[in-house]
Amino acid sequence: MSIDDILMHDETIFRDIRVFNPDYVPDKFLHRENQTDALTLCLRPALKGGKPINAIVVGSCATGKTTAIKKIFERVEEYSDRIVCVYINCQLHTTRYNIFSQIYQKIFGHLPPETGIPVTRIYEKIMKHLKKNNQALVVALDDVNYLFHSKNANKIFYDILRAYEEFEGVRTGLFAVISDIEFRYILDKNVKSVFIPQEVIFDPYTYGEMRDILQERVKAGFYPDVISDEILDEVTENTSSIGDLRVGIELLGVLGNLAEADASRAIEDKHLKTAIQNTSSISLKNTLQNLQGKEKKLLELIVISEDEQLTAGNLYKNLNNVEPLSYASFDRLLNKLEFLRLIDVKFTGKGRKGNSRIIFLRFDSEEIGKCII
């Protein structure tokens, strides 16, 4: 087929191709009733003039945390204007200024003017507005661990949760979302004095739950009979072995495209084989794409030193040669790569204080190398 043929060809097996996009919010949100109820209960007091209950939302990647919060916020806001719900992605917004600008935007419908306004002014306008209108505020800080990389968490938590000290009667709450249980203790250490949350756990989906969810996507995204039960089983098998529902959803989209490229009305085994080869590293690729400059550089150094026993001390020297930085900054970068499960860091019990560490790659160096170098 020529490029024109491919682009113009208007027969399609997709009922709605957007269903496979990463930001698609599904109509049916399956197997998360308990978590949805628990979070909604945290908001309930705010509808009756009380204070929202703080929550920490914990669960590994693609367990529906973001989707749950977005759906609940949407629903609550349809239901009542006594509560302002603000969703903030902390991967994108890490400074106090950014975060309060997002809250400001939600309340006033536009961002604060770019220049010259200090955070305290923005903060004051937000709180005065809430007080005047007798509205509660709930802020969901999604992927809140990103605030710890920039050490802003404590101040931001404090600003939000202790607003009532300065603005009497203002009612505020926080949902903090983390995708790694190991971050729990960092959160506690940093914000314990102000943040005493209720814990809502998003357990990993079982095979059966994953299959139900993928089946729903199939129904919404493809015309009938495009994919057989057997192929859907294999997609689920693959998804469940990787443990990342996103991979399965993306895989379905890729399969649809491959079948169309073949001018086939159904997805066949050969499409599955090709797609699995290409997508097994999707989740790795996504992670690598989101790395910042220095994080990437550090990972590159780990990849090229893979044959030797790499200590944290030597790694620091290597990185410091190309990108001068303090040991504390280096340590933060290392923690981040460990958090993203790209590397393992093991204490050896050796070294001056017995805290020398060795770094291991968790993925094949060639596979990582292909994506970053």
Ligand X SMILES: Nc1ncnc2c1ncn2[C@@H]1O[C@H](COP(=O)(O)OP(=O)(O)OP(=O)(O)O)[C@@H](O)[C@H]1O
Residues making contact with ligand X (CB under 6 A): 26, 29-32, 59, 61-67, 179, 213, 245-246, 249
> Whose CB is nearest to ligand X?
64
Q: Which does 104 bind (CB under 5 to 8 A by kind): ligand X, Mg ion, none?
A: none
Residues in the site for Mg ion, rule: CB under 5 A?
66
Q: Which is nearer to ligand X, 32 or 296 (CB)?
A: 32
CB 318 within 8 Å of CB 305: yes
Q: Which is nearer to Mg ion, 46 or 61 (CB)?
A: 61
Q: Which does 213 bind (CB under 5 to 8 A by kind): ligand X, Mg ion, none?
A: ligand X
CB 43 within 8 Å of CB 244: no
In sequence order, the 6+-apart residues with CB closer than 8 A to the CB of 25 are 67, 70, 71
In the complex, what is the shortest distance from the CB of residue 322 to ligand X, in angstroms, rounded to a whole number? 31
Q: Which is nearer to ligand X, 59 or 221 (CB)?
A: 59
In the complex, what is the shortest distance from the CB of residue 117 to Mg ion, in angstroms, rounded to a whole number? 30
In the complex, what is the shortest distance from the CB of residue 186 to ligand X, in angstroms, rounded to a whole number? 16
How crowded is residue 270: how many other Cβ atoms within 10 Å of its Cβ? Answer: 12
In the complex, what is the shortest distance from the CB of residue 334 to ligand X, in angstroms, rounded to a whole number? 21
Q: Which is nearer to ligand X, 290 or 326 (CB)?
A: 290
In the complex, what is the shortest distance from the CB of residue 71 to ligand X, in angstroms, rounded to a whole number? 9
> Whose CB is nearest to Mg ion?
66
In the complex, what is the shortest distance from the CB of residue 59 to ligand X, in angstroms, rounded to a whole number? 5
Q: Which does 296 bind (CB under 5 to 8 A by kind): ligand X, Mg ion, none?
A: none
Q: Which does 101 bind (CB under 5 to 8 A by kind): ligand X, Mg ion, none?
A: none
